[in-house]
Every structure is written in C-alpha cells, then in structure tokens.
Structure 1
Amino acid sequence: MHCTHNNRYFLNDDELRLLTAARAGKDREFQALFNQYWPLVRRLWQEYYVADLELEDWRQEAELVMMRALDRYQGGSLTRFAGFYKQSLINRLLDLYRARQAYKRIPASQLSSLGEEDGDRLVDGHHNRPEDIIYCQFCLEAFMQRCSPFERQVISRLHEGASITELKGQLGCDERKIRSALTRGRRKLVAELQQK
C-alpha cells in the first residue's frame, strides 16, 4: 500500500480517496482501508506479545484504534497516516500489556467478590442517585452497540443466568469461542467507560 522514503509515507490518489472516505465514516471504505493495513496489524501482534490476546481480539482492538486514529489525525494531506496508525497500534499494545501486568500485581488479599449486601445495594435505586442510574444505562446501551451480534447474544444469555456449558449447546460452538466473545466484550465495556 505504501512505500517509505526518508521516513515519509506516500499515498497514491486512490489510496488518498479511500482514506478520506474512511475518515468521513463510510463503512465499506473503512473496511477496505483496514484490510490494507491488516498485514501490519498482524505483524505487530506477533512482535509485541500480550498474554491471552488472541488474533481475533487484536483485530477488533486494531479496528477501534483505526477509528480513533482517523478521528484524531491532524495531518492536512493525510500522507503520514500510516506512521500515525502504526504508532497508535503500538501504543495500544503497550497499554494492554501494562494493564495485564498491573492486574497480576494486585495482591489476592485485596481481591474479593461482591457480597449479597453489596449486590443488593447496586440494584437498589434508593442507594443510587437517578443521574448515576441514567449514566449507567447510557453506558450499557453504548457498550452493547459496540459489541458484535454474537457478543451481544453471549453477554445477554449469560446475564439471564445461562452457563457457558448451556451456551455451548444453545449456540452450537465451543467454549473457547464463547470465552473469547466475553473477553472482547469486557474490553469494549472498559473502553466505553474510559471514554465517558
């Protein structure tokens, strides 16, 4: 897609039009642009090891990074977008790595599940301000829109009380695919909450 010369990236007219259309929010052009960068995305996933980050999970992360990169990129000619996107991907991989390392360092004594009283307090409207409840509903709606149809199906059924074993039979897929959908869903929820 691009060649380098003196650390500059040059795009031909067709590539520039594709980039401009993707930046304007056109889905087909966005996917075509992402597909052109897929070899870079895959290579970075191989170079920067992040525990439990499957390639499909990283693909979705990279698509989100591209959306943000297109939105934030300030270059007038867009000719340096490739370098900007690559650095954005590297930054995201480093963030994911640091987050996993930080989680590992939390002492087990500080980790605890919600007790029955805590759970009641979370769903009891008397303990929450109305604006907090509305905020949570807004975040959940935005989060569900970020999820793929399969992720929404898995999350909804688990929320309704189904077990992963039951989901395997209902959805006709293996446990790994279900757990992968859950992992992607968690990341999207965290990303949604961090943006607010």
Structure 2
Amino acid sequence: MTPEELEMIRGAATDSEMFKQVFDQYKPMVLRVITAYYIRDYTRDDWLQEARIAMLKAISHYDGTAGSKFGPFYRMVLLSHIHSLLRKHLAQKRSADTNAMVMANPGAILPPSFASGQRIEDNLVLRSQLGEYVAQLSPLERRGLQMVLENSDAATRRAYRRAIERSKLKLTQYFSAQMN
C-alpha cells in the first residue's frame, strides 16, 4: 500500500470528503458483495448505508504499516457486518417482526374498541387468538380477507366482495364471542 493511499484511508476517519472518495473507490466490490444477500424491506440504499458503517469500522481498525491491503480487510469487515445483520434479522425473538403484515385500514374490519387501543389486555389476547378465526374461514374467505388487508384492487370482484363480507361478519361474531 502506498503512503498516499494509507494517508487517504487514515484521513477518511475524520474527513467526510475523503471518506466518500474511499467509499466510491470500493463501491464496485460492495455492490458485488451485497447482491448475494437479502433482508426483507432492505433497499439498495439501506445496504449501502450498512456498507458505509462497515467501512467506518474498517478505517478505524486498519493498520497498513505491515503492508496489508485495505480492500481485503474492508471486505472481511463488510462480510462480518452483514452476517451480524442477518443474525439479528433472523433471531427467533424477532420472527414476529419479520412475518408481520401491515393493515392498510384496520377500522374497515376490526371493531372500534380493537382498532382504537381501548382495553389493551383484551386486544392482546384477541390478537394471539386470531389464528383460530382464520382457521374457520373458507379458502375463498381467507383470500378475500387477505385482499382487504393488502388493500388489493382485486377485492372489488363480485366473488371476493361476498367472501369479504362473510369474513367481516365472522370476524365480528368471533370478537363478540371472545369479549363476552
């Protein structure tokens, strides 16, 4: 490693312009590495931000006096950082977060007390028992409910409209039975 390159890497720890230059120099390697990995809801910008964090770690720990090259060292730190992200993302205690679905309009199918946050303990119990409710739906009703939750345009088709109405009715009946 040349003294100029070593000085640039050391300067990148405190100078954002130098950091950008060093990152841009290694960006092709970063793009090759990150294409092999997938984390739900991570965009390319998220991956590049994680690569910048890994570069900051690599710059702060790099000692080029022994003649080692920065590129392989940075690649090793980046892979280690990605593996840590994957371990965190795949942790069993976070599995509910990775499998969660966002409801576009919960008030459309949930009773007002459930959607508004009243009676929090009851709501938590009901949420944990929703699997029972879904199990009693027909496949068509399940698909209709899924369309409502995803806010799908296909939910306007006649067959699904009826199935959606049936699933809403069953949901209301299920909540009424659970709350009594």
- Give the number of the structure whose alpha-carbon radius of gyration is greater: 2
Give the TM bin, normalised by the shorter chain: 0.3 to 0.5
Report the TM-score, using the length of structure 2 for normalisation: 0.47
Report the TM-score, using the length of structure 1 for normalisation: 0.44
